[in-house]
Amino acid sequence: MRFVVPILLTLVFSVFVLAILGMTTFWVEWQKPDPQPIAYPHDFHAGSAITTLSDGKVAAGLGLQCTHCHQYVDKSRFATIPAVSICAECHTKLPPRTDELQKLKAYLDNNEPIVWQRIHSVPKHVYFSHKRHVKYYADEKGMEVGNGEICAKCHGNMQVVKEVKQVTTLRMGFCVSCHRAENAPQDCWTCHK
């Protein structure tokens, strides 16, 4: 009988430690998506980051609109991942001066699609429309489509990140808190289909 209390305390402590480890593992996995086939520097393409090329030349950020690459974000439920033809608009005219640009050149030369890894996703039972959300912020809040202001609400500021990571959970609590703040519909059927 005198061993029951220590055993129970050890059991409770062990369950607590395992729960913390499980949550930590989930958090680390959530923060580390699979590597992309090409390291795409959002801060250079969408922002004003300065980068040094392998030949020592310096290039200034391009400040591209989000809609330059994610062409259907305001027209479709999906933002779409850019096709290699969008990369070709500029990169067929430029020498591939980095290892990553050499990889891109191989895709372009072989006319192969780049198989980008998905980073942001909502559960399968959730209906989410980029078009509806972009339209709301553009029409109701006067935000500009494509400059990153609307996108940053869920994706973070892409103009300053080199490597894209999921910065919000995109789970129900996150979405509901935004719907409450924006006085948007909160009934179940708005999102759950």
How do the domains of the chain map onto residue ranges? 1-32, 36-193
Between 113 and 18, the higher pLDDT residue: 113
pLDDT at 193: 83
In sequence order, the 6+-apart residues with CB closer than 8 A to the CB of 107 are: 38, 84, 87, 113, 114
The dihedral sign for the CA sequence 116, 117, 120, 121 = positive
pLDDT, one tens digit per residue, over 138-156 is 999 999 999 999 999 999 9
The dihedral sign for the CA sequence 168, 65, 68, 112 = negative
Straight-line distance from the first to the last Cα atom of the chain, in angstroms, rounded to the nearest whole number: 54
pLDDT at 55: 83
At residue 85, does pLDDT exceed 90? yes
Between 40 and 3, the higher pLDDT residue: 40
pLDDT at 27: 56
pLDDT, one tens digit per residue, over 17-73 is 787 777 766 655 555 678 999 999 999 999 999 988 878 889 999 999 999 999 999
Residue 51, phi then psi, degrees to nearest 5: -130, 145
Between 30 and 2, the higher pLDDT residue: 2
pLDDT at 1: 65
Percent of the chain whose pLDDT exceeds 90? 67
CA 101 vs. chain centroid, Å, equals 21
Cα angle: 30, vertex 31, 36; to 5 degrees: 100
| Residues 90, 75: Cα–Cα separation, whole Å | 24
Going from the C-alpha of 81 to that of each of 25, 76, 118, 151, the distances in angstroms are 28, 12, 9, 14
pTM of the model: 0.78
Average pLDDT, the chain: 90
